[in-house]
Amino acid sequence: MHENKEIDESKQGEALMIESPAAKGGKKLFLESYGCAMNFSDSEIVASILKDQGFSTTQDFFEADVIFVNTCAIREGAEQRVRKRLTEYRKAKKTNPDLIIGVLGCMAERLKSQFLEEEKLVDIVVGPDAYRSLPQLIETAETGQKAVNVLLSKEETYADIAPVRLGSNGVTAFISITRGCDNMCAFCVVPFTRGRERSRDPETIVNEAKDLFEKGYREVTLLGQNVDSYLWTGGGLKKENPTAQELSEATTFAQLMEKVALINPDLRVRFSTSHPKDMSDEVLHIIAKYDNICSYVHLPVQSGNSRILEMMNRGYTREWYLNRIAAIRTIIPDAAISMDIITGFCSETEEEHRDTLSLMEEVKYHFGYMFAYSERPKTLAERTYKDDVPEEIKKRRLQEIVDLQVKHSAERTKEGVGKVFRVLVEGVSKKSAEELYGRNSQNTVVVFPKKNYKKGDYVNVLVDNCTGGTLIGNAVD
């Protein structure tokens, strides 16, 4: 999935710690993750597998026996960042020649054993579907050999592995509901690095959410590249042509969300990412029906121009997308909507760029994640189109899009002033120990004086002020 969603910049590459470490004396793991929420969620699977092997985590890679970096390949820049990080690990390998360095995730899958040739200090290369083999791979690496497993699977969902929560606030958690992607957007490397789409058994999803709730968590985010195509027909891999009987027994995304929402009204449900071509009214009605399903839809548009959307193989037009926006507004009137946009895709003209700006004006998104197009190896776009928009034009168009979004975000935030929101407290504000922060249903951060409230509480906050992206107020009874 998506490099951006829900994972803020401060968490990128932060040492991920298991809170209740295994027995002392075990080996030490330094684990860090880049990219999207799915990667952070996968790191919790990795931690779970290694904890069972007696590993504990460390924040200092100089004292680690194993360094694992979970990587992202979505844009060239994401890969450069990992390469840079590897040069820092080199120092640790100098002081500890037995140190094992492993590269996990999308970049590992994309480059496979080529990685070992390009980066001599790497010992292990492992793709997102091969984490169960980590113990064997470590064993191999301990004998001084290089170890690679980049097999992709049509079934693996790690459904039976209870993730170890990492760097958690104890209130919010991610749950993967699908893996892989079958959409083949022309610009996107994900179908190559994460393989075929498969849905996870709904029972294991509901049980994981229940377990989190019992441990004090109050919000789960259901994760998938395209949550709307979630479909459990018993076997995992989505059946191409299900029979009427199979369909009647299947669990859809709407039904899955309902099951999770019914666990407890105090368990909030979020989800990411929705796909405009697949997001149904049925899903929107379920969101509207349950107060604990958040009024927030992340609906990447990528471009406001139908010719570009066609080239991108997105499966919808500008008109279709705007019809989905209208459906959200009608069915969930208080919803916040956010987007992803790619600017400077192959052959994009100035007029087509202005279509993206005008679509933004029509929707006026609450938030946005905006990128300049970056050509990725093996993708349809790389094979069939020319990356012909000059860098400085991409940069200028991106700036125009970002400037407009900053303006819209500020306007949307301001609309919250004077209103009361139910806020789930996530922790103490970074700016002041006397203040708490949390989010409202629409996913906007709300800050207010602490009084006797604490993490995990739901607090009604009357907002009387704001900054560009944060609401400020006071608790009301």
Residue 425: contacted member of ligand 5AD, ligand SF4, none (CB under 5 to 8 Å, by partner type): none
414 residue type, one letter: K
Instruction: Please report whether residue 226 would count as binding ligand SF4 according to CB under 6 A.
Output: yes
Instruction: Please report whether residue 183 would count as binding ligand SF4 according to CB under 6 A.
Output: yes
Print the SS3 string covering 35-78: CCHHHHHHHHHHHHHHHCCCCEECCCHHHCCEEEEEECCCCHHH
Query: With respect to ligand SF4, which residue has the nearer C-beta, 314 or 412?
Result: 314
The C-alpha atoms of residue 267 and residue 220 are separated, in whole angstroms, by 7
Instruction: Please report whether residue 188 would count as binding ligand 5AD according to CB under 6 A.
Output: yes
Instruction: Please report whether residue 270 would count as binding ligand 5AD according to CB under 6 A.
Output: no
Query: How near is the Cβ of 191 to ligand SF4 at its closest, in Å?
Result: 5
Question: Considering Cα of 461, then 463, then 467, then 470, what sign does the dihedral take?
Answer: positive
Instruction: Please report whether residue 72 would count as binding ligand SF4 according to CB under 6 A.
Output: no
Round to the nearest angstrom and report the end-to-end CA distance of the chain. 40
Residue pair 67/58 in contact by the 8 Å Cβ criterion: no
**Cβ–Cβ contacts within 10 Å for residue 292, how many?**
18
Query: For residue 276, which of 243, 251, 248, 313 has the smallest C-alpha distance?
Result: 313
Residue pair 267/292 in contact by the 8 Å Cβ criterion: yes
**Cβ–Cβ contacts within 10 Å for residue 52, how many?**
12
Query: How near is the Cβ of 162 to ligand SF4 at its closest, in Å?
Result: 26
Tokens of 320: 């279709």
Tokens of 349: 């003209």
The C-alpha atoms of residue 273 and residue 251 are separated, in whole angstroms, by 18
Query: With respect to ligand 5AD, which residue has the nearer C-beta, 372 or 447?
Result: 372
**Binding residue for ligand SF4, selected from 134, 173, 175, 190, defined by CB under 6 A:** 190
Query: With respect to ligand SF4, which residue has the nearer C-beta, 56 or 305?
Result: 305
How far is Cα of residue 261 from the mean position of the Cα atoms in its chain? 20
Stretch near ligand 5AD under the rule CB under 6 A, chosen from 150-158, 367-375, 400-408, 440-448: 367-375
Query: How near is the Cβ of 28 to ligand SF4 at its closest, in Å?
Result: 34
Stretch near ligand 5AD under the rule CB under 6 A, chosen from 103-111, 139-147, 359-367, 373-381: 373-381
Residue 209's φ and ψ, nearest 5 degrees, are: -65, -40
Bridge partners (DSSP) of residue 472 are: 447, 465
Residue with tokens 């009084």: 451
**Cβ–Cβ contacts within 10 Å for residue 11, how many?**
15
Instruction: Please report whether residue 188 would count as binding ligand SF4 according to CB under 6 A.
Output: yes
Query: With respect to ligand SF4, which residue has the nearer C-beta, 2 or 270?
Result: 2
Residue 181: contacted member of ligand 5AD, ligand SF4, none (CB under 5 to 8 Å, by partner type): ligand SF4
Query: With respect to ligand 5AD, which residue has the nearer C-beta, 193 or 199?
Result: 193
Query: With respect to ligand 5AD, which residue has the nearer C-beta, 2 or 93?
Result: 2
How far is Cα of residue 423 from the mean position of the Cα atoms in its chain? 22
The C-alpha atoms of residue 318 and residue 273 are separated, in whole angstroms, by 19
Query: With respect to ligand 5AD, which residue has the nearer C-beta, 189 or 425?
Result: 189
**Binding residue for ligand 5AD, selected from 46, 171, 227, 342, defined by CB under 6 A:** 342
Query: With respect to ligand SF4, which residue has the nearer C-beta, 165 or 179?
Result: 179
Query: How near is the Cβ of 376 to ligand 5AD at its closest, in Å?
Result: 5
Query: How near is the Cβ of 188 to ligand SF4 at its closest, in Å?
Result: 3
Query: How near is the Cβ of 236 to ligand 5AD at its closest, in Å?
Result: 25
**Binding residue for ligand 5AD, selected from 197, 219, 228, 340, defined by CB under 6 A:** 340
Residue pair 102/55 in contact by the 8 Å Cβ criterion: no
**Binding residue for ligand 5AD, selected from 12, 374, 470, 474, defined by CB under 6 A:** 374
Q: Are strands 268-272 and 219-223 parallel, antiparallel or unpaired?
A: parallel
**Binding residue for ligand SF4, selected from 191, 195, 202, 236, defined by CB under 6 A:** 191
Question: What value, to the nearest 5°, has the Cα angle with vertex 182 and ends 180 and 184?
Answer: 115
Q: Which residues contact ligand SF4 by CB under 6 A?
A: 1, 181, 183-185, 188, 190-191, 225-226, 275
Q: Which residues contact ligand 5AD by CB under 6 A?
A: 2-4, 74-75, 187-188, 300, 302, 340, 342, 371, 373-374, 376
